[in-house]
Chains A and B, each alone.
Chain A
Amino acid sequence: MPRLDQDQETQRIAGSNFTFSGTRIEHLGATAYTLATIAVDVTGSTDGFEDDLRKMAIASVEACKKSPLKDNILVRLIIFSDRFSGGVSEIHGFKPVLEIDTAQYPALVPGGMTPLCDAAFSALGATNTYGQQLRDQDYGVNGICFLITDGGDNASTATMEMVKREARRSVTGEVLESMISILVGVNAANCRHLLNRFKDEAGITQYVDAGDATPQRLAKLADFVSQSVSSQAQAQGTGGPSQNIAATI
């Protein structure tokens, strides 16, 4: 049973049964934060490279700890499969990156179908909800979400409309100063067109093809994730519109 974290508070994304957790705002001392969400596919088709996916998540978070703006980064890690209630299981909510103990990350157990809409809704919706609360408390806030998947959506409870709504909300500048959402295809050569269509329909910022799910490729994906988070953290406060990140994985 996971240890209760008194610093974390669980809340609901409005208009849904999806929940997320985040550090209690009164425990946050900085002036501004980048909310980074990493959503990792653990459906049946990831069997065989689930360990490398776990290592990728660990490497991403550990690299974020080296960012010059590490004190201003909050990371949320979720895994998705229709085995989970609501399609999503939260490994941890929005937490200052320096407080994350990646040694506690559980082994990933592949299985189930792909609730990509659920993952996207949870990632974007939680970022919008928590981001709004931070903004109301005078914090500067921007966001970045990574949806890492090897297949298209086929088992969500959240609808595409719900995802679109949260994606739109995240880029108007009213809730977050800026937001970048990245759909990452791993081992997804066969469904690249599907994922591109998903990205367009949902209003996700960009699609990146990470290639095959080899340890080397996933290590490069970890670099991409951490560098993108660091870039977004540095963009915090510039007030510019959401920009694409040049993806070379």
Chain B
Amino acid sequence: MPNRITLAGDSNFFIGDQHLRQGKPCQDYTLTERVGDFVLAIVCDGCSTGLKTDVGARLWALATFAAVRSILKEDPRVALNDTLTRNIEESRWAIVNQSKKIYGLQFKDLLATCGYGLFSSTGGIVHLVGDGVVIEKYRDGRVILSRYDWEKNTPAYPMYAEDFYVGFIKEHGGNINVPRLKCTTVSLFSEEKKDIVTEEIPLGVGMVGVTRLYDEHMMRELECVCISTDGITQIRMLHEGEMADWVWAAGELVRLKNSTGEFMKRRTRGFLQDIGKTGKVPFDDLGCAAVSISVDESATEE
């Protein structure tokens, strides 16, 4: 019998230096919840040039949670695949649309990226519309960091589905086959050994979101999966503006000392203190949500 896998989720978000100085609110929002046998982790990043996108980020996160909860209530052992991501998208879209009317929100209030991870002991799925970083830490010490960047720093938002992405496609040159989303994957095997692979993703694929799947075997090899907003790529020296290495910064998020309770809040707190000592600050808002995966050697699955 395989050893029992235990999952825990936690997240944190905080305002970046730029918004603090501008008197703007934090436009990142994160959420982790246990839903049946699954742990759900969500991060959303509101568009800085939008309107009340701090509200938008929260709405997309809460709508995603509500959608997952509703789907899992109907099918507690739902398969983790593209059908699921489409169903979640449909369900949360209905919620956001209704909320938009109820609260009198505008299109520009709801421009926010949305990344979520849904994990059980037998598998997981990460789906990201927008930009950000997905960090996978393995028990053997490997860390794999996948950074998603859009051309012109114009990421996709789920809200662009309102006009069937017409405006977004036009903004990106009009051809859905042209790559406009870049995924840079850095695999860290040790201090010295590192692999870097770049994938160019067509506009038509990236705009509806990218998906990463994890099977049961991977779940036993993984220690933690963390989804972060792009704020982790903007850790800077406070005065000089020099940017810290994003690979180092993202790797710090999964350097977990423990995984009980508010483990991500502790880790990010520790991270902020550490970078503060060297005069660095998060320039942009930062939100990260993680699922930690423990294998209990003394217990087996039923």
- Chain B interface size band reads 10 to 19
Docked-complex contact B260 and A139, CB < 8 angstroms = no
Stretch at the interface among B92-100, B155-163, B179-187, B265-273: B265-273
Give complex CA distance A25, B266 in Å. Answer: 13
* Cβ-based interface call for B258 (8 A): yes
Docked-complex contact A29 and B269, CB < 8 angstroms = no
* Cβ-based interface call for B257 (8 A): yes
Bitwise interface map of A from 27 to 71 toward B, beta carbon under 8 Å scored 1, else 0: 111111000000000000000000000000000000000000000
Minimum CB–CB distance for B12 against chain A, Å = 9
Docked-complex contact B265 and A31, CB < 8 angstroms = yes
Give complex CA distance A25, B259 in Å. Answer: 11
Give complex CA distance A139, B261 in Å. Answer: 11
* Cβ-based interface call for A5 (8 A): no
Q: Total interface residues on A, using CB and 8 Å?
A: 13
Question: Which residues from chain A contact B260 at a C-beta distance below 8 Å?
Answer: 26-29
Docked-complex contact B257 and A29, CB < 8 angstroms = no
* Cβ-based interface call for B90 (8 A): no
* Cβ-based interface call for A151 (8 A): no
Question: Which residues from chain B contact A140 at a C-beta distance below 8 Å?
Answer: 266, 269
Identify the closest chain A residue to B8 (Cβ).
A29
Bitwise interface map of A from 109 to 146 toward B, beta carbon under 8 Å scored 1, else 0: 00000000000000000000000000011111000000
Partner-B contacts on A (CB < 8 A): 25-32, 136-140
19 contacts between A and B (CB under 8 A): A25-B258, A26-B260, A27-B260, A28-B260, A28-B261, A29-B261, A29-B262, A30-B262, A31-B262, A31-B269, A136-B257, A137-B258, A137-B266, A138-B257, A138-B258, A138-B266, A138-B267, A138-B269, A139-B266
Which 6 pairs, one residue from A and one from B, show the smallest C-beta to C-beta distance?
Answer: A29-B261, A138-B270, A138-B266, A137-B257, A31-B265, A31-B262
